[in-house]
Structure 1
Amino acid sequence: MSDSFSDRAVEPSALLSGTALDGLTRAKPSSMGVDADAIVAFLNDVEAANLDMHALMIHRNGHVVTEAWRWPYRAERPRNLHSVAKSFTACAIGLALEEGHFRLDDKVVSFFPEALPEVVDDRLAAMTIEDLLTMRVGHETTTSGARWRGMGTSWTEAFFRIPLAGQPGGAFLYTSAASYMLSALLSRATGETLHDYLKPRLLEPLGITGETWDVGPDGINPGGNGLWAKTADLLKLGILHAQNGVWEGKRLLPAAWVADATRSHVESGRYGYHWWTHPDGAYSARGVFVQLAVVFPEHGATLAITGAIKGSAKLLPLIDRYFPAAFDAASKDGADARLEAKIVEWQKEDAPVAWKEGYLRQPQPKGTIDGSGVRRFAMEPNAQGIEELQFEFTDSECTFRLTDADGPHVIVAGLGRWIETPNEMPGSDLHHNYHLRGSPVVARACWLDASRLQMTWIFAETAFRDTIVCEFSENKLVFKREVNINSGALQHDDVTGTLRA
């Protein structure tokens, strides 16, 4: 049964009261030496640049001083953190080294003799755990998580068959294959998945709960991606490192490991052990489409951000403009109140975000196929394998059904309002190759004019937002689907159908 999002919506002020949920204490920015006006200016600049930022949390000196979530993203929702998972993986490697499971100079091939090719290249034989950590494995090309998610055979065997172009320990090449192999060898050395290994040692002590980590064909967590956790959990990863591995008086990570992991180990001066390094001494955990934790160790501060932004290079200059300067500037009278007012506006459903402009104008109340009954369209052969599309309208809802070889898939969209339901739709090729079945989708439909129905599907635990336009003409339908952001295609080819009798 559909669930009206407007009936479940959390008031903006309630989003600021998550202390009991995430275990972090709150304080006014000014009380922690943070200039709230600088945060307001940062948010204004993000809006002016039309950057789709979904959440912001700022922590300093033991307290969360700012937190805000764009609608419909919320504090309690898990989030696909993409390559931020790599920095969690680095923690597991640091702990396993401390426990003596392996050494940095151990050879990768020594862990998987059964998965090696018949002839092992000398360069492959020389590859070490440290080479994996620093992304200096000598691979010819990068491997994205999206590529491997579409592969049902052994990822471990696939790793050893990636062509080499150079000597391990040489040139830097960012590749999720290295992170996967770190997870695989940790599992081989400890007998546990990366996730299970981290849970009692790091996740539970940090108060991270409800997280999930995908598992590949070999029963191994990908290491470089596939981790779903809350924005506060991303923040906690940064806080732990800002505090040199200590959490609530207990050491969770060796101090020496934190120092080594967050300093550059490559000639370009930008990468440590699965952490990105910055010229000013800051460092960051980064995921595609800007899932981001930036640590300012000299200021005892951490920023956590999630969004749908194509490349951190678009956001990092704005962060550099205001941080860490905001931690050195004195707050002016009323700055905290100005920030609170800004956040209230920022979190409203009708906040001024570029993608919502189509909904801010008055939509048509009715369209060509409104009314009682069901309209079914037989679709012409197409690359998506769509066999039939069906529409059923009430006064307040549009039930949309897509049928392919796997059967029917349904989304219920509110007419002029948003409805949240578990997602059933296919379309992983538009979503960085993630299958989002069961993930919450917030959906709305409106008539752009008498013949064009538009639906928006917001996958609220991800960066993805699909826009669907259905063009009706007599007994014909043209179905168009596109996504806001992706590592691959941003739209499907149009699909044409004919009304069934």
Structure 2
Amino acid sequence: MNSEKGRRGMAFWLVATACAIAVIAGVFIGINRLVERRGDLTIPLAVPEGVVEAFRESTPEAQGFSSRLLAAGIRSIVESGASMHSFMMMRGGAVFLDAYFPPYDGTVYHKLASVTKSVTATLVGIAIDEGYLRLDDPVLEYFPERTVSDPDGRKAGITIRHLLTMTSGLEGDARDAEPQTLRMRETSDWVQFALDRQLAREPGTAFVYSNLDMHLLSALINAATGRSAEEYGREKLFGPLGITDLFWDSDPQGNSRGWGDLCLLPRDLAKIGLLYMQGGVWHGERIVSQGWIDESTRRQVSLSGSRPEDYGYGIWVSNANEPFRYFIFSGVGGQMLRVYPEFEFIIVTTGGTFESAIAMEAVGAAFAGPGKAFREDAAGVAELRAVVAPKVAAPAPIPFATMPAIAAEISGKTYRFPDNPLNLATCSFRFDGTAQAAFEFKNHGDANARQARVGLDGRYRISLSGLPTYLKGAWIDADSFEMVFNEGPDMEIIPMSFTFSGGYIEVSVGDASAGGRIILRGESD
């Protein structure tokens, strides 16, 4: 479900994320000089050799950071009202910061937006390692049953390498990939829509950020292996890493959404960072080839200063001017996995409309700096633990009003909607007199409906039948119910109101004051 407000916000988030990446690029300048001793201050640069998957705990001071300054930074984040949900830092497999912020508590998977692209690319790499795909294979060879719009025959030159580097030449908007994605999702066959785009430039000649190119990579995995990217990933990547709590939505034909909507726990995202840091090996088992790790995190496309980073195979990589190498899995709203391989340093953040620059300011302020370090500080560690220990303080429940008579009348009824901008096909409620209701909805083109819980006491209820959804609501008069639909969480917050009259329903979606309200009308079965 998408609101106009949410769509407009996408462009802002993309810009914000780019700005954040630019800010953090300089945070760790000089870390490679932390190799000496200064008086009685031990500079702990040495890291364990070999496999370091175990998430053991450490103190920030043992890793060259100040607990007190990290605590101050986290307080500042909380007080700013930033929609950051998790902030994790680890080095050499040792976790020294693991913080969570409302409404997220780290116990359920989180939507990762375009971080998904890098995971899709990883699965392509595994499929190449296993011989299912080859980098320079023409894309159209994997779809022989499709008739693709190709007036001059030039699409035969598009290869898997071009999709991985976003240089396919297929039509796309370099400023904002979202409108084209929405048009694709309005069709019954997303892969066909992606393949039928006009060839706007010669393949391999220009970088254009594209959700559709990444979705084609997911379809290629399906075509070559006979399994969706999610199914293939569960066997070849997620399963071996012990990642079981995940969700990955698909298109009408069952292809996992290659560009976005993968949901993982932050710690499980960090596992993928560790896998890359260890050259593709996990507990002695080869998951991804060293060759793919090296090539995918190496500059394949130079963006010549137009962006803070260059591009590898589905991964943002440090440019040639950086004093040390890093790479990023990056998604809108503050979703980020950032890895410094030479220093075995990993940062993971998740958020809603969060600018990760805020978190990186806290990191920079707490970093010891070139040639410096911090003594162990038990009081500082205790202060940091006190700041992050509550994790998420749920709001106190509020008494919910007696339900109007119409709540029982409409409970269990299914309302159907004609084609509409939100793509909503059906919805229904169930009220049983408790502080929690049930809400079920289905979008046009979806195979199954989604079930969600709605808190009626002022507290969100979390539902995981699909993308993580947080809902709360209240009856405001005899026939109107208001609800907050929070997906991600906080990646799309949509106020909704439902007015019932006889066998009809009117749904108002969005914020009228922001000019984004959409009115839908439906009828019960």
TM over 0.5: yes
Please state how far the C-alpha of 1:52 moved relative to its aligned partner.
Answer: 0.4
What does residue 268 of structure 2 align with? 233
1:342 aligned residue = 387
User: 1:241–1:39: structure 2 CA closer, same or farther, 3 Å change rule?
Assistant: farther
Are the counterparts in 2 of residues 32 and 61 from structure 1 also a CA contact under 8 Å? no
Q: Report what 2:207 is aligned to.
A: 172
> Which of 197, 200, 208 does residue 232 from structure 2 map onto?
197
Once residues 210 and 126 of structure 1 are traced to their aligned partners in structure 2, the CA distance between those partners, rounded to angstroms, is 39
Distance in 1 separating the partners of 2:441 and 2:251: 28
- Does residue 270 (structure 1) correspond to residue 305 (structure 2)? The answer is no
| Deviations 1:407-445, CA, capped at 9 Å, x for gaps | x9997654544263648xxxxxxxxxxxxx666654444
Match of 2:14 in 1: none
Q: Among 349, 353, 373, which residue is 1:330 paired with?
A: 373
Distance 1:386 1:187 in 2: 28
What does the per-residue CA deviation read over 1:230-288, in whole Å, with 9 as the maximum and x for residues that have no partner?
22221111122222323234432222322221122222152111111234422211123
Given that residues 371 and 393 in structure 1 are in contact (C-alpha distance below 8 angstroms), is that contact kept between their aligned partners in structure 2?
A: no
Cα distance change of structure 1 residues 260 and 399 upon mapping to structure 2, 3 Å threshold:
closer
Task: Give 3-state SS (helix, strand or coil) of 2:293's partner.
Answer: helix
Q: Which moved more, 1:339-348 or 1:442-451?
A: 442-451
CA contact (8 A) 2:509 2:517 kept: yes
Counterpart residue identity of residue 292, structure 2: W
Q: CA contact under 8 A between 1:376 and 1:390: conserved in structure 2?
A: no
Q: Deviations over 1:171-209 (max 9, x none)?
A: 111111111222222333333332333333322221111
> Residue 457 of structure 1: CA displacement?
4.1
Cα deviation digits, residues 282-311 of structure 1 (max 9, x gap): 22111232321111223211111111116x
When structure 1 is superposed on structure 2, of 385-394 and 226-235 the one drifting more is 385-394
Separation in structure 2 between the aligned mates of residue 372 and residue 188 of structure 1, nearest angstrom? 53
Residues 227 and 31 of structure 1: is their aligned pair in 2 closer, same or farther, counting only changes over 3 Å? same
Q: Give the AA of the match of 1:227.
A: L
Contact 1:33–1:330 (Cα < 8 Å) also in 2: yes
**Cα contact 2:326–2:339 (8 A) shared by 1:** yes
Counterpart of 2:188 in structure 1 is 152
Superposition RMSD in Å:
4.5
SS at match of 2:330: strand
Q: How does 1:94-113 map to 2 (within 5 A)?
A: 94-113=125-144
Q: For 2:381 and 2:473, locate their aligned partners in 1 and report how far apart those are by CA, in whole Å.
A: 38
Alignment gaps of 5+ in structure 1: 1-21, 351-358, 424-436, 484-488
2:255 corresponds to which of 216, 220, 223 = 220
Q: 1:240 to 1:35 in 2, by over 3 A?
A: farther
| Cα pair distance change 1:219/1:448, threshold 3 Å | closer
Give the Cα–Cα distance (whole angstroms) in 2 for the partners of residues 409 and 182 of structure 1: 27
Q: Which residue of 2 aligns with 1:356?
A: none
Counterpart AA for 2:381: D
Q: Following the alignment from structure 1 to structure 2, what is the Cα–Cα distance between the partners of residues 275 and 468?
A: 37
Q: Which moved more, 1:246-255 or 1:410-419?
A: 410-419
CA shift digits 1:125-161 (9 cap, x unpaired): 22221111111111231454544333222x3322221
Assess if the C-alpha contact under 8 Å between 1:376 and 1:388 holds in 2. Answer: no
What is the CA distance between 1:169 and its match in structure 2? Answer: 0.9
Q: How does 1:238-277 map to 2 (within 5 A)?
A: 238-268=273-303, 269-277=309-317
Q: Distance in 1 between matches of 2:441 and 2:227?
A: 40
Q: 2:65 touches 2:366 (CA, 8 Å); kept in 1? A: no
| 1:202 partner letter | L
1:136 and 2:167 are equivalent in the alignment: yes
Name the structure 1 match of 2:6. Answer: none
What amino acid maps onto 1:30 in structure 2?
E
Identify the residue that residue 91 of structure 1 maps to in structure 2: 122
Instruction: Report the secondary structure of 2:131's partner residue.
Output: coil
Question: Which has the higher mean CA deviation after the structures are superposed, 58-67 or 207-216?
Answer: 207-216
Cα separation, 2, equivalents of 1:327 and 1:455 = 47
**Residue 296 (structure 1) aligned to one of 334, 337, 340:** 340
Q: Name the CA shift for 1:495/1:164 in 2 (closer, same or farther; >3 Å).
A: closer
Say yes or no: does 1:418 pair with 2:418: no
Task: Tell me if structure 1 keeps the 8 A contact 2:461–2:470.
Answer: yes
Does the 8 A contact of 2:111 with 2:488 survive in 1?
no
Q: Partners of 1:438 and 1:192 in 2: how far apart?
A: 19
Unaligned runs of 5+ in 2: 1-52, 304-308
Cα pair 1:23 1:207 within 8 Å, conserved: no
Aligned pairs, how many? 440
Q: How far apart, CA to CA, are the structure 2 residues paired with 1:124 and 1:94?
A: 23
* 1:238–1:320 Cα change, 3 Å: farther
213-222 vs 158-167, greater mean Cα deviation:
213-222
- Structure 1 residues 399 and 260: CA distance shift in structure 2, 3 A: closer
Q: CA deviation at 1:322?
A: 2.4
Larger RCO, structures 1/2 (Cα 8 Å, 6+ apart): 2
